[in-house]
Amino acid sequence: YLQGREVIANSIKQFQSDINESLKLEINYAMTNTTNALMIQSLFLTLSFTLVIIVLLIFYKFFMIPIKNYTISLKNNHSNNEKHDLNPEGSMELRLLADKFNILYDELITANNAKSEFLATMSHEIRTPMNAIVWITQIAKKYDTDPEKIDNYLSKIDISSKVLLNIINDVLDMS
């Protein structure tokens, strides 16, 4: 019995030793695979962060910096009353925007100058006959009682009124 028991106990010990060795090998294999998977995930994470940073840098360079420069340029030129020429930079869309802005701004300045010239001319053209009407009317009221002079004054008032009316009609027709 003792001999059989020892054979069985030795067999069980050998079996446990073999199982433990097998388990150690499996654990080492699993740890190696886990470490490899962790390294691959870390590599993909690092690569993802790098790509995100590159995309953000490209966005910043081609969109944010040009828009910031446009804003600063417009702000500085507006306060200095200088010409607003934007340097086309950044993405193609922003360069097109800057080019179009420069063209439209030049057209705006031209239109504003034409408006100012028109108003100055119209102011002069309207005031001249109006001043003649007022001045001649005052002279006729205060100083002259001669019917011939009054008739002359009235004809000048009539001519000036018609000129003024024609100017006003032309302005209204043009608008």
Q: How far apart are CA 56 and CA 40, in angstroms?
A: 24
Report the run of H or E that residue 55 belongs to, with start and end: helix 2-59
What's the rounded mean pLDDT across residues 73-77?
75
What is the structure's pLDDT at 121? 83
Residue 43: is its pLDDT beyond 70?
yes
DSSP letter assigned to residue 89 = -
Q: Which pLDDT band holds residue 81 (cuts at 50, 70, 90)?
A: low
Of 175 and 138, the one with more pLDDT: 138
Q: Which pLDDT band holds residue 92 (cuts at 50, 70, 90)?
A: confident
Q: How far apart are CA 81 and CA 79, in angstroms?
A: 6
